[in-house]
Structure 1
Amino acid sequence: MTLELVLSHKETVADGVVRLTLRAPGGEPLPAWEPGAHVDLVLPGGVRQYSLCGRPEDTSAYQVAVLREADGRGGSAYVHDELVAGQRVSLEGPRNHFALVDAKRYLFVAGGIGITPILPMLERVAATGREWQLVYGGRTRSSMAFTEDVSRHEGRVTLRPQDEHGLLDLPGLLAEPQPDTAVYCCGPEPLLAAVERHCAGWPEDALHVERFTPKADEGARTAFEVELAGSGRVLTVPADRSILEVVEDSGAPVLSSCREGTCGTCETGVLGGTPDHRDSVLDAAEQRAGDVMMICVSRSCTPRLVLDL
């Protein structure tokens, strides 16, 4: 779903981080969302994914926080330097591939701007009275957004600026699997990879991560065929092209956004064959099931895939 919203407010919430409040031009209620959801902002230079960090019960506005990326592609610089209150902003979504599951206990691990999807999660969990803990790290205390918001939960929140405490003590935090505990992590790729490594001994469905940058694609690339079930057409996907590109060239209607396996827009049903998953959206169980795939980056383990297109 594409929405045309208006930036009603822009404020600095940490060093290099601004929060945007977006509303419908006529004040209409916005589509509902649940903790973990994100929207895709259409910015000069491309589409960028940002987690919703406001209150799901507030349908009058969406809020996202944007970190200035020194080595980015220009989207965050535009938001920080040029976007002003009153401007129109196009966005797609909301979508949720980081949904809050039902658990007896929750451990939230956030790094830097990765606090944004976790904010509404911990508020939802806190309202239920269930046990939870947040460990939140960042480069410096002043670079960590929303510390006042999370610090209201005395005794459950640990703030660890790196220049004061060093890296998060993940071995101590994750060494022993905790029963009936869901672990949620969002942040820079080194943190996500480290949490995944330290959770190797936990139950497979315990860990939930969200990436907004693609994982390194080091798999071999070979040609294969895709059959479009709706028409019966068979297309060849060369080693140097994606399924998405080939399907688009064929004229078949298909949705896409990030084109790097992080947003989930191009999720497509698989009716035959075995996908070679290379996305950053599906968890291990979903990838094993093999009934959906992200056709912008994933490939095939079998000579042909049959897609629900």
Structure 2
Amino acid sequence: MKLWITRPMPPAVEARARADFDAEIRDSNLPLSRDEMHRALTGFDIVVPTLGDLFSADIFAAVPQPRCKLLANFGVGYNHIDVRAALAAGVQVTNTPGAVTDATADIAMTLLLATARRAGEGERLVRSGQWQGWHPTQMLGQHVTGKRVGIVGMGRIGQAIARRCHFGFGMQVAYVARSRKELEFPAEYVPDLPALAASVDFLMLAVPGGAETRHLIDALVLDAMKPSALLINIARGEVVDETALIGALQGGQIAGAGLDVYEFEPEVPAALREMENVTLLPHLGTATEEVRTDMGNMALDNVAAFLNGRPLPNAVTA
């Protein structure tokens, strides 16, 4: 069976793919074009796609009887794949949960600290050669330790963030989720998102992407936040109404934001790029050698299970 991997991978993953499978590895880091997605479904038995490879319902409609029988997604998020349409076409879908949890939580804390302590602004000041030395009121930011943090979504990543906030920084944790969670640390369950937003110093997003969470953070939620509050997003860009966020930042409704994802990435609005109180990262959530290798191996574990007729370790259902 022929396997197509749609992006270059860490060396260990590419070596395993070539050794264990009849694999072709695409040499571009750009998302698949429509023609390439058609080729993926008609020319290969298994495809390892990733973020940006938009396997939408109309792609499956154009290939009603695909040769491809498995999309072994590289990544925990799979909102770029219409899972219902895939399954209806006889194509199974898997993802790579677990491998990304700690690295993504670490980036959430990186963004929180960098934004609260104005680290990006300070680094730009030093690099510009304009820093004139220490003084008592220079670049005063926000203290993080002991503050109240609100976490939107308390799955694996949300819990990993909350654990760091509680045990590492002595923060008071509150959260909103579909249901109350049994946790190993104190955390207040707040069922109403605007109420949570109004009560915290930092609002951190850790929900999956998709239709259910698109623009979950809208003008109503942003209006509810304190003027001193920060928004941190390591989830998916479309979870935040980017236009509303820009308006809230420009109007002083919130104090700042730390973003690793964007609604229309890789496009980042000039308005965000020009704000000193916004920390911007290029979707680095899982960007460590170890984690990306683990993700690749997890995707290939799904491929191996499929080829050997075993249950898929990380099957995604509609």
What TM-score, normalized by structure 1, do the two folds share? 0.36
Greater RCO, CA 8 A, separation 6+: 2
- Decide which structure has greater strand share: 1
- Looking at secondary structure, tell me which structure has more helix per residue: 2
Q: Normalization by structure 2: what TM-score?
A: 0.36
